Amino acid sequence: MQWRYGYLPRDFVVDIPSQLLRGIRRRSDRSASPAVRLLIDEILVRHGEAARAILFYGSCLRSGDDLDGLVDLYLLVDNYRAAYTSRIQAFFNRLLPPNVFYLERAYAGQVVRTKYAVLSLADFQKGTSRRWFHSYLWGRFCQPTALLYARDHEVARLVQEGFAQSVLTFIRRVLPRIEPEFNARRLWRRGFELSYRAELRAERPEKRARLFDAAPEYYEEITRTAMEAVAYPVEIVDTAGSVSYRHHISSRRRLLSHITWRLRSLQGKVLSVLRLLKAITTFEGGVDYILWKIQRHSGVTVDVEPRLKRRPLLAIWVLSWRLYRRGGFR
């Protein structure tokens, strides 16, 4: 049995294998810790009735330590205008999703912090499907993600189908860029390399290489269950319990894929700078946050004059150039 996804045009939707969807549902169904619950409650207060779902992904989810670094959350909303009192914030969220905000709360003598992004449910559906050219969303939500809050069962269904569509989109886009004989580990490590290159990311190469190792059972399972729906001829080779694959993709299609990933990389660099420009206006202490994030992931330290910190829009351009020259962006 296969499932259709939401209300997107049929040409952009891949039928979801039922076994893949069951696995996604099982792994995404989690409860929030007390510390993260504090953050969720505040986000729901901030955005009111517009909130439809809250998703948890990233390094804190992988480590299980909510108090180490920033908790990465996504708030899915009905529409951008309903999510804000400011028409300007709604406009920029619609123009270049998502908007990113910072929030912290005291918890058990410590501080729990989050960087949460606001995205409409409609943009989430588009961004996890083939309709979205860049890997910004489907490259994130193909990874283990927890659904911590959903307004109702229908929203939960659409979100979990979005996770499954992300997996299918990711594999479809990555397959032509790997050698014909491969296993799940090679597929996902190559895919993470490509998608990280398509943005200005501060993480070192060895960190993205560890993403697969953080949840190998998850990636092995979803790879096998997704292969029937990737639209390429792929053989599954099961030898003594060790599963590998062999694709038969033409040289012409592989060349086209190479070109499209180059275009994604160029597009992503521009979008990353524009998103930084936008985010720095929504973060309290935005310049300090960006410096901390770069230093934490790449080891690159850049000093910023106090006068620049008082002018964040100017600071972001100066910072981008300095960090690029010193290897802070990869």
User: Is 97 found in the same domain as 194?
Assistant: yes
Domain end position, chosen among 220, 235, 267: 267
> Residue 58: its pLDDT value, please?
93
72 touches 100 (CB < 8 A): no
Rg (CA), the chain: 20
116 touches 43 (CB < 8 A): yes
The answer to whether residue 36 sits within a structural domain is yes
b/e burial code for range 103-117 (CB count within 10 A of at least 16 → b): bebebeeeebbbbbb
Mean pLDDT in each 10-residue stretch from start to end of the chain (330 residues)? 48 80 95 96 96 96 89 97 93 93 91 94 96 96 98 97 97 97 96 92 73 95 94 88 93 97 95 81 62 62 66 65 64
Bridge partners of residue 73, in order along the sequence: 56, 116
The answer to whether residue 73 sits within a structural domain is yes
Element of type H or E holding 295: helix 286-298
Domain end position, chosen among 235, 267, 299: 267
User: Domain with 40 in it: what CATH number?
Assistant: 3.30.460.10
Total residue count of the chain as it appears in this document: 330
The answer to whether residue 272 sits within a structural domain is no
Bridge partners of residue 181, in order along the sequence: 246
User: Is 177 found in the same domain as 106?
Assistant: yes
User: Is 214 found in the same domain as 147?
Assistant: yes
The answer to whether residue 273 sits within a structural domain is no
Q: In the chain, how many domains are there?
A: 2
User: Is 192 found in the same domain as 100?
Assistant: yes
Pairing, β 99-107 against β 110-120: antiparallel
The answer to whether residue 310 sits within a structural domain is yes
User: Is 289 found in the same domain as 261?
Assistant: no
Q: Is 69 left (phi over 0), alpha (psi -120 to 50) or beta?
A: left
Whole-number Å distance between alpha carbons of 264 and 244: 28
* Chain centroid to CA 74: 9
User: Is 300 found in the same domain as 175?
Assistant: no
User: Is 292 found in the same domain as 260?
Assistant: no
The answer to whether residue 275 sits within a structural domain is no
232 touches 175 (CB < 8 A): yes
User: Is 291 found in the same domain as 244?
Assistant: no
Whole-number Å distance between alpha carbons of 157 and 90: 26
Query: Whose CA is closest to 234, among 280, 276, 180?
Result: 180
The answer to whether residue 276 sits within a structural domain is no
184 touches 142 (CB < 8 A): no
Question: Does the predicted TM-score (pTM) go above 0.75?
Answer: yes
The answer to whether residue 274 sits within a structural domain is no
User: Is 193 found in the same domain as 141?
Assistant: yes
Pairing, β 16-17 against β 2-3: antiparallel
> Residue 209: its pLDDT value, please?
78
Helix then strand then coil, % of the chain, to nearest 5: 55, 20, 25
User: Is 307 found in the same domain as 209?
Assistant: no
> Residue 25: its pLDDT value, please?
97
User: Is 299 found in the same domain as 229?
Assistant: no
User: Is 295 found in the same domain as 186?
Assistant: no
Residue 177 sits in which domain range?
A: 2-267
